[in-house]
Amino acid sequence: MAFETLHVVATLGSILTWIIVFRKISPAFFGSRFKAYGELSVERKILVDDYFMAGLHAAITAILSWYAYTCTELPADGVWFNSPVVRFISAVYLGYIMADVVILLQNPQLATKAFIAHHVTSLFTAYIGASYPAMPYYANISYMMEISNPTVNLRTILKELGYGTSNYYVWNGAAMLVTFFFSRVLLTAIATFNLFKVMWFHNAFHQLPFQVSLCYIFGCGLFNVLNYYWFSKICKGFVKHVWGKKPQ
């Protein structure tokens, strides 16, 4: 299988859209509404713009993926199963990651090791998700995880704009903890269990092209490690906030 014309258009359109959001829409939005944004250094403005782009993308991706999950057929044991909606979301997601890679290359201060690993893997998994009518349930799960990202990104934005001690920051932190646990710990644990069942009981999985099976096995392993690592940091921050000291 390969990209269809729709997926090429969706990917290119996504790249252009998110570059415009980063370079034009975010600076215009924050520059006209927040005095603190204008007082930030160039590097901190770039950080805010990148997190705004990521948060907006996450909100749109989450809506589309949860629609696919609740309103379309996505069987957990559907090895060879075509989901046009999930393949479209994958193409859009691929475009976003490509746009963000360009931004990270131009602004290396944004590129942590965890984000580099995340983006490299995401490029591969999104391409597979858009190209092959296979395992759409698991591809969609990775996009459903994006429901936690708006709060994650808003946390940094609030801090940069001087709201790090406000009630907005506290309530956003609580929402981040809940949504992250639900979408990136509980939901992915269920999906990982289902993936093991498919691998064990369905011969069709072992007939997938190597790159497709690798995508879901390796992607599941890496994203689980990253999710649990990030969740542990969120929990440490929560404990520090509640008890007023960093846990040992």
CB 22 within 8 A of CB 53: yes
Lowest mean pLDDT among 11-20, 178-187, 200-209, 229-238: 229-238
From the list 144, 159, 146, the residue with the least C-alpha distance to 237 is 159
pLDDT digits (tens, 9 = 90+) for 152-166: 999 999 999 999 889
How deeply is 186 buried, as exposed, middle or buried, from its count of CB atoms within 10 A (0-12, 13-18, 19+)? Answer: exposed
Average pLDDT, the chain: 91
Entry field: residues in the chain:
248
Predicted pLDDT at 245: 52
Better-scored residue on pLDDT, 83 or 116: 83
pLDDT digits 0-9 by tens, 20-78: 999 999 999 999 999 999 999 999 999 999 999 999 999 999 999 999 999 999 999 99
Choose between 108 and 146: higher pLDDT.
Answer: 146
Q: State the pLDDT at residue 142.
A: 92
Name the residue type at position 228.
Y
For residue 1, the model assigns a pLDDT of 58
- Give the separation between CA 76 and CA 43, rounded to whole angstroms: 43
Q: Is the pLDDT of residue 236 over 60?
A: yes
Confidence band of 111 (pLDDT split at 50, 70, 90): confident
Contact 100, 18 (CB under 8 A): yes
**Global pTM?**
0.90
What's the pLDDT at 247? 47
Handedness of CA 213, 139, 49, 176 (dihedral sign): negative
State how far the Cα of 112 lies from the Cα of 153, in Å rounded to an integer: 15
Indicate the range of 109-113, 122-126, 132-136, 166-170 predicted with least confidence: 109-113
The span from the CA of 37 to the CA of 30, in Å, is 6
Rounded distance, CA 22 to CA 48, Å?
Answer: 9
On the question of pLDDT at 248 being above 70, the answer is no
Q: Is the pLDDT of residue 239 over 90?
A: no
Sequence-distant (6+) residues with CB within 8 A of 236 are 246, 247
pLDDT given at position 119: 86
Nearest alpha-carbon partner for 58 in 135, 151, 122, 176:
151
